[in-house]
A and B are shown apart, each in its own frame.
Chain A
Amino acid sequence: MQERIGVQLQQAQLQKRIKVWEALDLWASLYHRNAIDGERLLEQLGLIGKRNAWFMTLSGGQKQRLFIALALINDPELVFLDELTTGLDPQARRAIWDLVRGIRERGKTVLLTTHLMEEAERLCDRVAIIEHGRIIDIDSPERLVKRHCPERTVVLATDDRSAAERFRAIPRVDEITCSGSQFTIRGSGDDLVTDVIHCLSENRTRVTDFRTILPNLEDVFLKLTGHPIRD
């Protein structure tokens, strides 16, 4: 089984004084199947300049990328990536996301565990939400959001005092809050935004700001697990 999988673990270490290329060379020698070109892998991961550096001298992001390289060296059919961007800066995170998309596009299966809902939303075809080791729900990110968080919110700004009354007439509006000239309209269903726009244009209401807030995977996660703070 180990021949066909690649694994990147959270908080793994290597020998302090092993060089980057030696680690790849060693890993390549452990598999019977043909390893892929380590040098190219280092290039893709932006580690080529560090090929002779000791493991202990690498930064967190570089170590993480080296572990990804080791997970891919045997050209696995299934890749496990555990918390791969935790503790990385936004640039490094985006570079690694691109890389994961690349693996996926080459027809490999990637199993990714993450606490970053943004990461799951951007990278995953299917997302399983797990609480205490149990899968609560599994589906594509869009369908998860649609199923669990149908709420829509429209925030707009207008000086028209009478607008609130008209908004209240819109079907499926649950709540309207108003602070100064800013209105927050909460409701559910895909039609809410259209209905609000319609209402505005019908009454020729002058609007100085208009935005919608759509629920995302993070809202789904919070709703399903029911805990606002988790670690």
Chain B
Amino acid sequence: MLRGLWKLTWIEIKIFLREPLGAIGTIGIPVLVFLVAGRMIGRRAALISPAASSFIGVGLPVLASVLIVIGAVLSLVTIISIYREGGILKRLRATPLRPQTILTAHVIVKLLLSAATLVLMVAAGKRYYPVGIHAPLAGFTMALLISTCSILSIGFLIASLVPTARFAQPIGAVIMYPMMAVSGLFAPVESLPLAAQAVAKVLPLTYAVSLLEGIWKGDAWWAHAHDLTALALTFIVCTALSAKVFRWE
């Protein structure tokens, strides 16, 4: 079965790169925007205000990472629903392939693409942003991997349920973007109205953002034990549920 997983992953990467806008849209555009923004504000940020400087130091890397992850989730949801609608899943069902293997292959593809985007952004950031990267990169990569798996598992669940490809993108967006709004990405969770804070507490993205920011700033792992627990729980629950409700057609 592993042989099938690698084959499927490799073929999916090749197929993705054959899409006319695939690589450019997913990797090229985010890096390009990052570079342009960097050129415009990067060097002056420290002069504008301490808040701007802190945003670029911590907020920006985390924001960029989360945006890439959310993009990956939305595209996972869309791809799976296109495969279902086109009968590709139905055809695969008649083989010994299991749904977990299909999802895993797509998750690996998304992880690799996200990693490629981030590496390019870090390289670009080094050139244009004044804040040197003092952050523990290995730790941050680990934290990002954990967060990505957890958030992608929400993607699985949506992908297992959405009826048609036409709804996939909007449904994914309706679930993902509000999650971002209260996650602490744009404003600290403590500064939100109480109701929003309560919502934030049950959303996994909040814990991902807290973990990513903490690790980037150099916090120890044990300080984020409850973030890790929440993310692990999300992953286990969503994966188990999606394996149960996965629809081939």
Contacts and interface: CB of A to CB of B under 8 A. Distances in A.
A9 B94 contact: yes
Contacts of B18: 17, 54
B87 interface: yes
A16 B1 CA distance: 24
B244 interface: no
A25 B7 contact: yes
B15 A29 contact: no
Contact of A26 (B8, B87, B94): B8
A33 B83 CA distance: 26
A117 interface: no
Nearest to B19: A17
A163 interface: no
A170 B15 CA distance: 72
Contacts of B4: 26, 29-30
A69 B60 CA distance: 51
A14 B19 contact: no
A116 B95 CA distance: 27
- The size class of the interface chain B forms with chain A is 20 to 34
Contact of B91 (A9, A17, A32): A9
Nearest to A15: B15
A38 to B, nearest CB: 13
Interface in B12-32: 12, 14-15, 18-19
A230 to B, nearest CB: 24
Interface in B53-107: 83, 86-88, 90-91, 94-97
Given A17-B15, A22-B11, A26-B11, A2 B88 contact: no
B95 A30 contact: yes
B90 A31 contact: no
B7 A13 contact: no
Nearest to A73: B95
B185 to A, nearest CB: 34
B134 interface: no
B11 A18 contact: yes
Given A17-B15, A18-B15, A27 B95 contact: yes
Contacts of B12: 15
B19 A7 contact: no
A70 B92 CA distance: 10
Contacts of A32: 96
Given A15-B88, A17-B18, A30 B97 contact: yes
A91 interface: no
Q: Which 8 A-B pairs have the closest CB atoms?
A: A7-B94, A13-B86, A17-B18, A29-B7, A12-B91, A30-B4, A2-B96, A12-B87
Given A12-B88, A22-B11, 12 more contacts: A2-B96, A7-B94, A9-B90, A9-B94, A12-B87, A14-B91, A15-B83, A16-B15, A22-B14, A26-B7, A31-B95, A31-B96
Interface of A: 2-3, 5, 7, 9, 11-18, 22, 25-27, 29-32, 54, 67, 70
5 contacts: A12-B90, A13-B91, A14-B91, A26-B4, A26-B7
Interface of B: 1, 3-4, 7-8, 11-12, 14-15, 18-19, 83, 86-88, 90-91, 94-97
